[in-house]
Amino acid sequence: MIDPHWQVIDLDPLTWRHLGPYLEPQQYIAAAQPGEHGLFVLHDHGRVLKVVDTHSRTLPEDIPAHISDPETLARELYRRGEWQRVHIIDRHHLAWVAQQAQATHRRDLTFDAYYHLVYTLLWGNREGYACEPPPPAHWHGWTYTDVHHFIAALPSPATLALGVYSDDILWLGLILVCERGLIRRVTTFEGLHSTITNPGPTEHTLTTLCEALAAQFAPPAAVLLCTNAVFSGWLAASDKLAYLDAARVEATAIWRVVPVT
């Protein structure tokens, strides 16, 4: 979905800093979560090489010297209740994943398709990397397929925009320009030729922004303006539409979406 030759234009420092946590490539192939108490067991075709407890840094008891069934061992260790996640990793599998992912430059793949490939290679062999609980197959409820279908269904060209406010001050203003199912350009509200007055999640701001997007880039397909608290809650919410509906009633979020097929 992200063109290999995408352009980043006028990405102001404030927005870049706030976007940082969402643009770290390793998060797309990571099973361990920040601060998670995990157990990592590295082996060589079953022969245990290293065991690491991320909190205590001590060697747990009852770890066999040789692993015959990585998945069964991961489940048994996880059931002990000492760790939030257990990883049983064959170093040869990691080497194979690296070789497959880096054998060519993969210039035929979009930015996100490359990381999806690595994700599939890494977690597609439970003998090579057994993880209990399994790695999440989504990001805050969105799957790769969900996002791919959404972008592919957009009119071409079209813009997507997100404005997040903290105390009526723009905290994050992001604009994506999409063409033929790919994100071609990334910029921010600072890249707009028009000035957005009366900042915040209001009808006036939404209308002004949509007009500016259409005049400078392409007709807006989806625009969301909300407070910082609503943005965080929306990411975590299981029913995201219902959450935004409630926020709209409270005047802390407003959006406009063009129906897509």
> For 6-62, how does the pLDDT look when each residue is reduced to its tens digit (9 = 90+)?
666 766 777 778 877 777 766 767 788 778 899 999 999 999 999 999 988 677 778
Taking a C-beta distance cutoff of 8 angstroms, is the pair 198, 174 a contact? no
Per-residue model confidence (pLDDT) at position 60:
79
pLDDT (mean) for 183-193: 88
Return the domain boundaries, the chain.
Answer: 2-24+145-257, 31-132
Residue owning tokens 């062999």: 125
Per-residue model confidence (pLDDT) at position 32:
82
Q: What sign results for the dihedral spanned by CA atoms 150, 151, 157, 160?
A: positive
Q: Which two tokens stand for residue 155?
A: 């009119």
Per-residue model confidence (pLDDT) at position 90:
96
Among 28, 177, 178, which Cα is nearest to 113's?
Answer: 28
Right CATH for 2-24+145-257 from 1.10.3470, 3.30.1050, 2.60.40, 3.30.70: 3.30.1050
pTM, two decimal places: 0.80
Question: Between 140 and 213, where is the model more confident?
Answer: 213
Taking a C-beta distance cutoff of 8 angstroms, is the pair 23, 176 a contact? no
Per-residue model confidence (pLDDT) at position 213:
96
Per-residue model confidence (pLDDT) at position 21:
76
Q: Which residues contact 139 (CB under 8 A, 6 or more apart)?
A: 27, 28
Per-residue model confidence (pLDDT) at position 4:
62
Q: 169: number of CA atoms within 13 Å, CB side?
A: 5
Per-residue model confidence (pLDDT) at position 89:
96
Question: Between 136 and 216, where is the model more confident?
Answer: 216
